[in-house]
Structure 1
Amino acid sequence: MDLLSLSSTLMPKDAYKNFDIAKISTLVDSYYPEDFTEQEKINLPFQLQHFILDVRQHPEMKNLSTIHELCRCLAETKKSKVYYLIDRLIRLILTLPVSTATTERSFSAMKIIKTRLRNKMDDDFLADSLVIYIEKEIDEKFSSDSIIEDFKSLKT
């Protein structure tokens, strides 16, 4: 919930009424520390100050209401190059639902396999099975025949 409330400070609705530089900096420090260098974290508040002054005056960016529209408008006006740290943060926030869904899918698959197979196999085999079950896209690249041939060649 904290992540979502901090993310909402970037909402352009009502002339950027919720825009809060301190909360946005906290968002970066708390939730995206690996995505920004220390120098970028220092520069971010300054870039945010310039950004808010600029977008409140810019005719195309004044009447936006969603983060998605803000990201699109930054790209269209080429301001994503000027405010590259803000653009990166917005893109990270927009990918959050996809990341969350992928993680949830993995945990759901792990729960199914662990519940059904826990007593029937050892930990290494269970872990290998989970990888194949979760990463189905990788699994589709291999055919059963190619795997059998690899095992036959190992035997010789």
Structure 2
Amino acid sequence: MFILHVRSTSEFSSCCDLETLAMMMVKTEAHLTFPLVYRLIELLLVLPVATAKTERAFSARNLEFCSEISGEWCSDMMLCYVEKAIFKGIDDGNILQYFESM
């Protein structure tokens, strides 16, 4: 249905990539009619950025050994590295107190 709609609407004739297609869908409110198609396009547009950010984080931390350790522990380490600005604001004493109380 989406393909038929796009082919029959003249506004979409100028779309040559996913970015312009997404913008045209919002402009013509087709994103409301075809929400799953729009969501798929959004994910395709974000995927390269998300993949590159993850690759940079792994390279920066030299975490090739993550394949040898548990996935949860590796995920926790990556979270601490990627969100290091947040973790710098946490007092070490509070962390030690928390674990001592456990």
Which residue of the other structure, out of 73, 77, 98, is the alignment partner of 2:49? 98
CA RMSD of aligned residues (A): 3.1
Deviation >4 Å, runs of 4+: 152-155
Q: In structure 2, what is the Cα distance between the partners aligned to 1:138 and 1:149?
A: 14
Shift in Å, 1:56: 1.3
Q: Superposition pairs for residues 3-152 of structure 1, below 5 Å?
A: 50-111=1-62, 130-131=77-78, 132-142=80-90, 146-148=91-93, 151=96
Shift in Å, 1:148: 2.9
Q: Which has the higher helix share?
A: 2
Higher RCO, 1 vs 2 (CA within 8 Å, ≥6 residues apart): 1
Shift in Å, 1:149: 5.4
Residues paired across the two proteins, number? 93
Q: In structure 2, what is the Cα distance between the partners aligned to 1:82 and 1:136?
A: 40
Aligned-pair identity (%): 32
Q: In structure 2, what is the Cα distance between the partners aligned to 1:67 and 1:150?
A: 45
TM-score by length of 2: 0.69
Where structure 1 has 5 or more consecutive residues not aligned to the other structure, the ranges are 1-49, 115-122
